[in-house]
Structure 1
Amino acid sequence: MSSPSPEAVAGYLSAMRPFWHPVLRSADLTDRPVRVVLLDEAISLTRLDGEVAAFPDVCRHLGAALSLGDVVDGRVLRCRYHGWQYDKTGRCVEIPLRGDGKIPAQARVRRLHSQERYGLIWVCLADEPQGDLPPYPEYDDPEFHKNELVRHAEWRASVPRLVMAALDDTHFSWVHPDVLGVAGQPLLPQRLGEQPVAVSADGVLTSRYRTSMPESPMVAEGGDRATAVRTVDVEFHNVATVNSMKNVIHSAAGVSVTWNVYQPVSHDRTISFTQLSRTYDRDPAHDQLWEEFNLGIKEQDREIVESQQPWLLPPLRAQVILYLRPEDVPLVEFQKLMERLGVPQL
């Protein structure tokens, strides 16, 4: 697969900087620094004075990785190379070899914007964040039983490709035969409402439609997968942002939610975090069944998504992608959203 130009890559990475991106599960940050990569930039994450502190993973002295250092008394991050110590603001508060205690004013590292929510640590690389985190009201809703938040293996694809794969509602019978769609029986979803695909001013896309799906944990309680395929009528409410995709399925059994958020490691490498939740089949003993079902769907998508060309989406005006209407309306509107948000294409 041909790579995009250096200019296109730089433009994409720059345009994604103002958004909040997930980088680590909160549970995975304990008493040691952790190194993550976001948009080709290495970041050191620590907890200092009870807060998450995110810094570029470079000591101000000789450039050693701060993520190799130690947290001292829960208050400062100490570089392993020469012992420089940084507080939660990024200011150097001690240089051991300086017997007089004088510290240059320039001895500090930049503190990046960070926050914890939905069981994740989020980082924004820009000076000022653009917008808020992806909407996820189900997280605080006691009606939903929530599985453990899962970090998936890295995919060789860009974030927009992963979002669009989950937003695409016409591939089920081809990529997920007898799992999400019936093999050999493709269906055109029945769009709902006067505006079935809508984009809000703050960059949230919603898509609503009805369709029929094979019985599975996500649409029916206690389905027997050993029998012949039985279909269930469902209603989808999909919610997408620049780096998230939430699939909400309403069926006779209740409501199930697949919440995906994406960490853009680079222009062509993405890590996804997923949480499954539902209002029925609330027995935690069944969580593993749900996870295995979802992982099977992801692996089927992965083979397709990693094969797509080019790495970055070509602009709509180029007509490199031959979209169809009404079949591909959600994908067209998502790409329009990306272009409106200033995320450049090839």
Structure 2
Amino acid sequence: MAAPSLERVLAGVRLHVVTGKGGVGKTTVASALALALARAGRTVLLVEVEARQGISAAFGVAPLGTEEVRLVQDRSGGELWGLSVDAKAALLEYLQTFYKLGRAGGALERMGVVDFATTIAPGVRDVLLTGKVYEAVGRTAGSRRGRGRPVWDAVVLDAPPTGRVVRFLGVNEQVSELARVGPIHGQAESITRMLRSATCAVHVVTLLEEMPVQETADAVAELTAAGFPLGALVVNQVREPLVPPALLRALEDDEVDERVRSDLATVGVRSGARTVGGLLAEGRAHAARVALEQELAGEVAALGRPVLRLPALDRGVEDGGVAVLAEHLAAAGAAGGVEAGR
């Protein structure tokens, strides 16, 4: 199945949901994508919902709170802001918005009702988190929702991992079925429509390792079946082969032992059986790893989505690593999904 172009997939997208198996670097990729969009002149909000403070670590800033904080002011005119959504704060905001509780909301918190609702009641936490993201996407400079220019040209959500992202994104559909009428039903339906619309794209991050690739394939199937729009597949931490393909193939030659001994002798290195055997073992292990990665890359490509490849950074995301990855994403066209609002 031929993959659609990245340009087509990102056309009109304002909410970028980034997921992936734990440990594949989804927070780093979400941060790099948000920075790439900001460098293209957009006003971008980067949101995390797992209270891990991954964004603050990626940008080397103080832990984020429940208010939006500017992370980057780019010379293009773009801005990147960060937000760590807190379920308790979101619930109090929700109660005030729809029920005008005022001080009563604080009383509920002191009584422990808020803690109960956000940690014990099934699904409530995800409803509140997705609701806050929905509010950010729909917020406008006008006095009423949907009127005026959007405050954020793009919102990038560092979402839960692939194992639970479908449940996270689909929780409002269940709520709308339970609450048949009223403001809860209406908001749940609105959030579900947004998450299934062309303004949203779910990007899945993976590594060229067997378990992440399998989980990526499972996530693609589950997201498609649930009706959530897929974006790109991001292959993170790609390492180029240490030796050229011809040399890797030469390791299969029956006479390679003698050739290695001869080459070592030429440069004055002792070529005992232990030395030669160790070098060949390492070379063949590397060749096997390269072959496996090529096979896994083929499996990712076969999923039928645009594929973005990000290099492995020798020093991780320290010392500007997120900026380097943002440059790669921009060069690949990942920052071309929406028009700048300013």
> What's the TM-score once normalised by structure 2's chain length?
0.27
Structure having the larger proportion of residues in strand: 1
Structure having the larger proportion of residues in helix: 2
> What's the TM-score once normalised by structure 1's chain length?
0.27
- CA radius of gyration, larger in: 2
